[in-house]
Chain A
């Protein structure tokens, strides 16, 4: 890890906009510009603009790039169509999550992986180790790439207007797909219809030297739709409402995808569509089977599972707070929590024993020395259009 603080290519834009900057995973990034709630609401109602240049981008190229990724990751990357994207995970041999990733397929032999900022170097090193024997190569392009996200129900129109030609391509783009477009000013961007807010939205990968121009273009084209720059604080409450896991909170090295309720990202294959070995397979099969057994008899199970919690009071449970039983003994742990700007109530995600995981179960949380009651509820808390 470097001790030097990294800066986004948009740093000067953030300073000019009066952003409050904080250290985040070794980067100096905007936590907010105007206010957390206003930024959160802009994304739910109109559009918000995020600088995500701290995320890591890694290219994987070569004749065996797909076979390599199939072996290295828990999903079947060879099945991603051209122009498609997939949410997946890099797991250790023991099934623990090293990072959650989005993999974009740019060509038959060309993929791009987006990793969490804090994990990028670990992901790169781990992939490099797994590369042996495959005809493929890795290229860390994080420093050359800026990532700008336009998120919200009005994002489609804004990104369409940002293009020089190809607005139709933007409208036609399906969720979790991407393409190359030319933005105003002749800027080539790699645009993906993905995001981390629970809303429709686009992520624009552009050269670092063109980041400021694209950022300003989004603000001007989105002005009539009320777009505002949004910081990491609103990004966190948005993703929490959308029930999306965050590495270091819901996902850790000690968590399997099954614990997090994300077992579907692990593809073991079927008789009709067999899948070969991959790193972590044996441990993840065991985790899946143990979970199945535990579900059959939850009262005897020690297995933990991720649930959503909604509180009646106003005090929010935060990451690290204990879920306790009537006697005060810890039985689980909150992984993320905040007052929900959309719901007006505290929400949280927590790991609890399976016996406490049914919808409607009342649990107690030790909120700074006082017990608060919260109710288990299905994730996500917020679903667009619902």
Chain B
């Protein structure tokens, strides 16, 4: 079974969010180990751009593996304040450490996100 850390929040589209979910706080976003496992070896990540406005539930990037391509949906609304540049050269970091080195971007959230799942609820939809 893929790892689903208790301290994170999750979207139904298999992104995770770490950080305080209050207006103006900065959160980190990545994809779950479950999603990374399903994709296989990730060979390319199209990152959002710093300064972009992202909206919850909308596409803000894509992840490409030998097997498939998957769109990255933003789990939160706000402004992108950092992206993980390491992923340009080492997209495999997502598969190796989905919740750590494989983080994708950080956003300053403009509104408290609704509908995120806790680890138990997320685990339930991946079973």
Contact = CB atoms under 8 A, between A and B. Distances in A.
Nearest to A341: B66
Contact of A315 (B40, B64, B66, B95): B64
Contact of A316 (B38, B69, B95): B69
A339 interface: yes
Interface residues of A, number: 20
A32 interface: yes
Interface in A297-332: 314-316, 318
B46 A339 contact: no
Interface in A19-42: 20, 31-32, 35-38, 40
B84 interface: no
Interface in A329-350: 338-339, 341
Interface in B1-56: 37-38, 40-41, 43-44, 46
B41 A315 contact: no
B37 to A, nearest CB: 7
A314 B44 contact: yes
Most-contacted residue by chain A among B37, B65, B68, B95 (CB, 10 A): B65
Nearest to A233: B67
Most-contacted residue by chain A among B41, B46, B65 (CB, 10 A): B41
A177 interface: no
A264 interface: no
Contacts of B38: 20
Interface in A153-175: none
Interface string A229-254: 00001101100000000000000000
A339 B40 CA distance: 12
A368 interface: yes
A37 B71 CA distance: 21
B46 A31 contact: no
Interface in B49-92: 62, 64-69, 71
A233 B66 contact: yes
A314 B61 CA distance: 14
Contact of B40 (A36, A314, A318): A36
B43 A339 contact: yes
A339 B64 CA distance: 8
A140 B37 CA distance: 36
B37 A36 contact: no
B65 to A, nearest CB: 7
A376 to B, nearest CB: 22
Nearest to A367: B69
A24 to B, nearest CB: 12
Contacts of A234: 66
Contacts of A36: 40-41, 65-67
A36 B91 CA distance: 14
Interface string A96-138: 0000000000000000000000000000000000000000000
A341 B41 CA distance: 10
Given A315-B46, A368-B62, A35 B41 contact: yes
Given A31-B40, A35-B95, 6 more contacts: A36-B41, A36-B65, A37-B41, A315-B64, A315-B69, A339-B65
User: What are the 5 closest A-B residue pairs judged by CB atoms, nearest first?
Assistant: A36-B40, A314-B44, A36-B66, A233-B67, A37-B41
8 contacts: A37-B41, A38-B41, A233-B40, A315-B46, A318-B68, A339-B64, A339-B65, A368-B71
